[in-house]
Amino acid sequence: MNGFTNQRIHAADSSTHNVLVTGGAGFIASHVVNYLVMTYPEYNIIVFDKLDYVSSLHSLASVSTMPNYSFIRGDITSFDLVSYVVAERGVDTILHFAASTHVDNSFGDSLEFTHSNVMGTHVLLEAAREFGVKKFIHISTDEVYGEVRADMPNREEETILAPSNPYSATKAAAESLVKAYQKSFKLPAIITRSNNVYGPSQYPEKIIPKFICSLLCGKKLYLHGDGSNSRHYIYISDVVDAIDVILHRGQAGATYNLGAGPESELTNKNLAMMLLRKFNQQDHVIEHVADRAFNDQRYAIDSTRLGALGWNVKVGFDTGIDETIRWYQANWKKWWGPDIENALQPHSSKAGRRPMATAVSIGGLD
């Protein structure tokens, strides 16, 4: 079960023809690409990705030979390349997923996050303005709201942003650019902010795939701090459904929260204990290590606005985590092999990353 039926819920938009998906070989975007290619043959889906360490063309193999799919390797911070692609391919819609997202790494190399997340977004916005893109959907995060204590209300879309780590600060800055282009140039843009997304093919630097792969490798589960920090988790197919709804029903200028509800909230320690039970392991496998420089206690968002468009969560956490475990048991070595060793350390770093791609190549799976 992956939650996808490829059964069309929305009629194809007659104004949508050529869709550029940045970061399309990454975790969330690759699932969106697979869904759009198979569900909307009227749309030409153009993946634009520099193939950083978290990306894998394996995630796009099932659509690599489809006539409405193409792949371009490149960096979103290259204005000349982005402009050429938008103009030459007649791009009318941009789904902007590409970003540096691992919070731990943002404490060690915040300038890279600013370059990728802020400059990259600005390049795309300027190309969209110059060549008349009709729809720009910017994928952000619930972390831009900052910490939400248990005694505070869930954050709605108009809540003032208060990011507290370098990663979320760059995402908030990117959102400011999107809103500026909305107002200054009437760019028809939409912003999404989601809970922590999980599911098959996610690179194991994020906590759920990291813990699963650690257990598959016989390694310890490293908990930052006391493990009391909590997050809400949303399964990938529910996010794909949300993007589909927003693409076809979303209002230009709007922001939409993508939240899975209170039942999806787990502390890091409870998440570890739950996975230990599923793998028939004892809690001595857990080891507490130093926390990151700053770690928000929790986030919480209100998704009423998106619900009004007809979206709702379909995959509960128990179902989603079981499917995720099955996928990693069958596939993780094929996807990354020994390249994940650094990701499973207590505190991952940039060591072992593949260099940034600067060349351009067009094609499918090598």
**Choosing from 75, 142, 157, 205, which is the catalytic residue?**
142
Q: Which residues contact 14 (CB under 8 A, 6 or more apart)?
A: none
Rounded-to-integer distance, Cα 121 and Cα 273, Å:
38
366 is known as an active-site residue: no
Alpha-carbon dihedral of residues 69, 75, 81, 84, nearest 10 degrees? 30
| Closest residue by Cα to residue 265 from 168, 164, 148 | 148
Backbone Cα Rg of the chain? 19
167 is known as an active-site residue: yes
265 is known as an active-site residue: no
- Which residue stretches of the chain are H helix? 27-39, 79-88, 103-108, 110-113, 120-130, 166-185, 207-216, 236-249, 268-278, 304-307, 317-335
Q: Which residues contact 225 (CB under 8 A, 6 or more apart)?
A: 288, 290, 291, 295
Token pair 């993007």 in the structure block, residue = 243
- Assign 257 to helix, strand or coil: strand
Token pair 């939650």 in the structure block, residue = 3
**Choosing from 49, 75, 143, 244, which is the catalytic residue?**
143
**Choosing from 35, 43, 53, 167, which is the catalytic residue?**
167
Catalytically annotated residues: 142-143, 167
